[in-house]
Homo-oligomer: A and B are copies of this chain.
């Protein structure tokens, strides 16, 4: 699948975000969306087609996402010819799933056959099993086998991501042989960035960038041009790991090997950029407890992902409340305590979140390991003391002026204590989760918040009682 005829390719000339349909940030303009919507409403299929036809598949996909759910199928019907596999592959996961569910299996199968294995797999992996089977039954046996094979690997592993189509040649070839082979074999893929050199067991022994081949005379052996050391990706490697290798070693493509070391596929960087961006961007969503955090996620999924987290936080808020209740008598005597206590908890919470965000990012980027944890902890402790003292002076003076000097001293001391504890928790909690094999971005927030809230109330109210400002 996915062989493009060379002649055809030349005349496929999609606009890439440069036309009048786009604003300065490469987004489709609201006026353009309105034009398309109006021509759909007027039932004018020709004019809709003419509007959409100049767009790149990625922009047609954007257009669908900007449309309301009900309008999407109307649009799809009006521009069926433009609904290439590439458009479908570029769609947001949720939008795609929704659209595919409304199509008959034969229609989906014909889209699947246009795609390379990795895109075909991505397209059907989220559908339920019955739908998958119905679609696969309509796909050509050879493609079906490739897809079923990929689906046998766990989700989010190299086996799912890789494409099976690649160029692999024996060690015995020289540059001239290779060029002749590439010109002769019309079943080869059109787009590739490196060729893989394999031994008789189909184990990769090296890889060659195409630029090296083009710069080398025909009679030089491939084994003299290729790079022997390469990053081999095991089929079962997690996609996050694969993304880190691509970043670290600046890879354009990499060979995927099975347990026995046989070359079974390749992963190319254009597929990895989505995953790199997703993995880097998801931490903000995970830390806030927003789950997938996709604006196209169905309402019930967004609700269940977020409410779970809110309920967990309700638990931590109740713990903090219990601490306040314990000091109830003191608050009754001095209501200023109730007025000021949220300040200590809130600023502590902020300081904790700052440190936690830094720590989680460093863990994700493999920058924080056992070798430097102590140094980073010490560093964060210093920052926390500096922050704590600064904030304490400000709030201490303000409180001394508005209330009493004693209360100013108490809130200043509580603030230093809470910010330092927050700083330590912001490092130690994510590091602990990471060592236990948990994703620190998911699990840390609830604990750090609980610590900073509880300690904020406890330090402030406890110090006030200890200083004799109120009794218990």
Residues on the B chain within 8 Å of A347, using CB: 310, 313-314, 317
A140 at the interface (CB under 8 A from B): no
- Copies of this chain present in the complex amount to 2
Are B293 and A358 within 8 A (Cβ)? yes
Shortest C-beta distance, A162 to chain B (Å), equals 16
CB-CB nearest in chain B for A292: B358
**A58-B249, A276-B277 given as contacts; is B215 within 8 A of A188 (CB)?**
yes
A284 touches B361 (CB 8 A): yes
- Chain B interface: which of A41-49, A128-136, A148-156, A387-395? A387-395
Distance A322 CA – B42 CA, assembled complex (angstroms): 57
Interface: A209 (CB within 8 A): yes
Does A371 contact B331, Cβ atoms closer than 8 Å?
no
CA distance A362 to B379 in the complex (A): 34
Give which listed residue, B13, B14, B193, B295, contacts A367 with CB less than 8 A. B295
Chain A's interface size range is 35 or more
- A314–B212 touching, CB < 8 Å: no
Q: Which residues of chain B are near A387, meaning CB under 8 Å? A: 303, 306-307, 310
Instruction: Say how far A181's CB is from chain B's closest CB, in angstroms.
Output: 10
* B-contacting residues, A224-271, CB 8 Å: 224-232, 241, 244-252, 269-271
Rounded to whole angstroms, the CA-CA distance of A244 and B114 in the bound complex is 26
A339 at the interface (CB under 8 A from B): yes
- Could you say which residues of chain B place their CB within 8 Å of the CB of A325? 339
Q: Does A107 interact with chain B (Cβ within 8 Å)?
A: no
Given contacts A66-B371, A314-B347, contact A249 B56 (CB under 8 A): yes
A18 at the binding interface (Cβ < 8 Å): yes
Tell which of B26, B209, B296, B299 touches A366, judged by Cβ atoms closer than 8 Å: B26
Considering the complex, which residues of chain A in the window 200-225 have a beta carbon less than 8 Å from any beta carbon of chain B? 209-217, 224-225
Q: Is the CB of B299 within 8 A of A317?
A: no
Our pick among B25, B225, B249, B321 for the contact of A10 (Cβ within 8 Å) is: B225
Q: Is the CB of A358 within 8 A of B295?
A: yes
Distance (Å) between the CB of A163 and the closest chain B CB?
13
Q: Which A residues between 147 and 184 are near B, CB-CB below 8 angstroms?
A: 179, 182-183
Are B225 and A211 in touch, CB under 8 angstroms?
Answer: no
Most buried by B among A33, A299, A351: A351
Q: How far is the CA of A364 from the CA of B17 in the complex (A)?
A: 17
CB distance from A242 to the nearest CB of B (A): 10
Given A394-B314, A453-B342: A354 and B288 within 8 A (CB)?
A: yes
For the complex, is A386 an interface residue (Cβ under 8 Å from B)? yes
A290 at the interface (CB under 8 A from B): yes
- Do B288 and A357 touch across chains, with their CB atoms under 8 A apart? yes
Q: How far is the CA of A189 from the CA of B6 in the complex (A)?
A: 27
Chain B residue with the shortest CB-CB distance to A402: B325
CB contacts (< 8 Å) of A12 on chain B: these are 227
Contacting residues of chain A (7-33) with chain B, CB-CB under 8 angstroms: 7, 9-10, 12-18, 25-28, 30, 33
Q: Is A142 an interface residue (CB 8 A)?
A: no
- Closest B residue by C-beta to A248: B58
Interface string of A277-303 (1 = CB under 8 A from B): 110110111011110011110010011
Known: A210-B211, A288-B356, A307-B386. A369 touches B28 (CB 8 A): yes
In the complex, A382 has a CB within 8 A of chain B: yes
Task: With A284-B357, A299-B379 as known contacts, state yes or no: A224 contacts B277, CB within 8 Å.
Answer: no
**Is the beta-carbon distance between B318 and A328 smaller than 8 angstroms?**
no
Contact indicator per residue, chain A 89-132, by CB within 8 Å of chain B (1) or not (0): 00010000000000000000000000000000000000000000
Query: Told that A321-B342, A346-B453 touch, could you supply 17 new A-B pairs with CB distance under 8 A?
Result: A10-B224, A15-B229, A16-B249, A30-B371, A188-B215, A190-B211, A269-B270, A288-B350, A290-B355, A293-B358, A294-B358, A299-B386, A310-B390, A317-B347, A318-B398, A321-B343, A342-B345
Cβ-closest 3 pairs across A and B:
A284-B284, A280-B280, A210-B210
CB<8 Å pairs between A and B, sample of 19:
A6-B215, A16-B230, A25-B241, A26-B366, A28-B369, A183-B217, A193-B193, A273-B273, A276-B280, A280-B280, A290-B358, A295-B358, A299-B383, A313-B347, A314-B395, A318-B343, A331-B335, A332-B335, A346-B449
